[in-house]
Amino acid sequence: MKNLIVLLFICIANFTSAQELIHLIGLDVNNSSSSQSSNEDSETLESYTPLKTLGVYRNGNTVEVYTLDHLLIPTISGFKHATLNVVETDFIKDPEREMYIPEGTYKLEESYTKPIFFDSKSAIDEFIKSLSPILEDAIKVDFETFSFVNSKFYTTTGFESFVHGGASWFNADQKLNIYPLDWKKGALSNRITDHLSNTEKNKILIAAAKSMGEYIPNDVSPDKDLMLPWSTTVDEFQDVFFDFQFLNKGIGIIPFSQLQGNSSRSFLQDGPMLENLKLYETFAVQKPVNVDAVIILSPDKSTRTEFNENTIFVYDHQTNYLLKTIELNFNKLIMSEFAIGKYAKRWAQEFQ
């Protein structure tokens, strides 16, 4: 009995000694239940909110969860509020192209989707209210959405396509870009050869190409002189990039090779997580323990957040006690930022 009382006292002490903190969790929720049509017959979205921020606020053993229908990004110069801007233009009837694009096939001529930033919650709330995209197929598409965000930079994934009616019918290219927020380390690039040697790039590229099955014939032994389909030699090829992915207690750097599917279409083929520690130091991210799970540990090691499909679990890390379960449909975790102590309450105010 005495030992049980001591154990309970230790558990209570661990809970109450946890610092006040808030965990900002940025999520891509595009195509989830967060975007609802105004009615069953309408194709125009009443509210387009493809991104969400959770504020998981812990004080002792109490956890509250706040939400915003956009990204709340803390930077040195203050908070940035971000979402996706969608600009659409109606289909243009053109007799010269009716042979291959009959009227009614497409509802839009152009569709342009890019990240957009605001300095206040009220400004972004007004902007979101003003958006009413139909999100239909377009003759010309330029689409970018957030893939990874921290206080210094962000990456985007997306594609460009253009229907021209020629022999290949349309052109389409996937893309992966990186942009600064508070980046202070000179030129910002996610091209592999801006950080690693061409020899290292060749190894990454060959591994990506080989993973595509018949992309390289089985009887071919690839080397730097191999001619890639609809492209250059391995050694000359430069379109190998990298992105960032939340994994087990860290952020993995993942390579992507922009390979040609044919003469008019390209796609991004991923590869195994990069091991070069110089890259992790350059971008000031912690290399993960492994790639088997998505687990985030708070800086003070008091709180652990685990992501499992559409459920988020918040634990006291010292006792393994489950503090909170959050059920939410989302596609991808794209941001994780913490504030501890007196700053936690200040960050929590941004949700009001």
Tens of pLDDT, residue by residue over 102-141, are 778 899 999 999 999 999 999 999 999 999 999 999 999 9
Helix, strand or coil, per DSSP, at residue 300? coil
pLDDT value for 211: 87
321 contacts 309 by C-beta, under 8 angstroms: no
The Cβ of residue 87 has, within 10 Å, a number of other Cβ atoms equal to: 12
The tens digit of pLDDT for each residue in 65-91 reads: 999 999 999 999 999 999 999 999 999
pLDDT above 70 coverage of the chain, percent: 90
Single out the residue of 136, 119, 21 nearest to residue 70, CA to CA. Answer: 119
Question: Domain count of the chain?
Answer: 1
What is the rounded CA–CA span in Å between residue 56 and residue 70? 15
Which DSSP symbol is given to 20? Answer: P
Buried b or exposed e, range 243-275, using 16+ CB within 10 angstroms: bbbbbbbbbbbbbbbbbbeeebbbebbebebbe
Domain extent at residue 49? 2-351
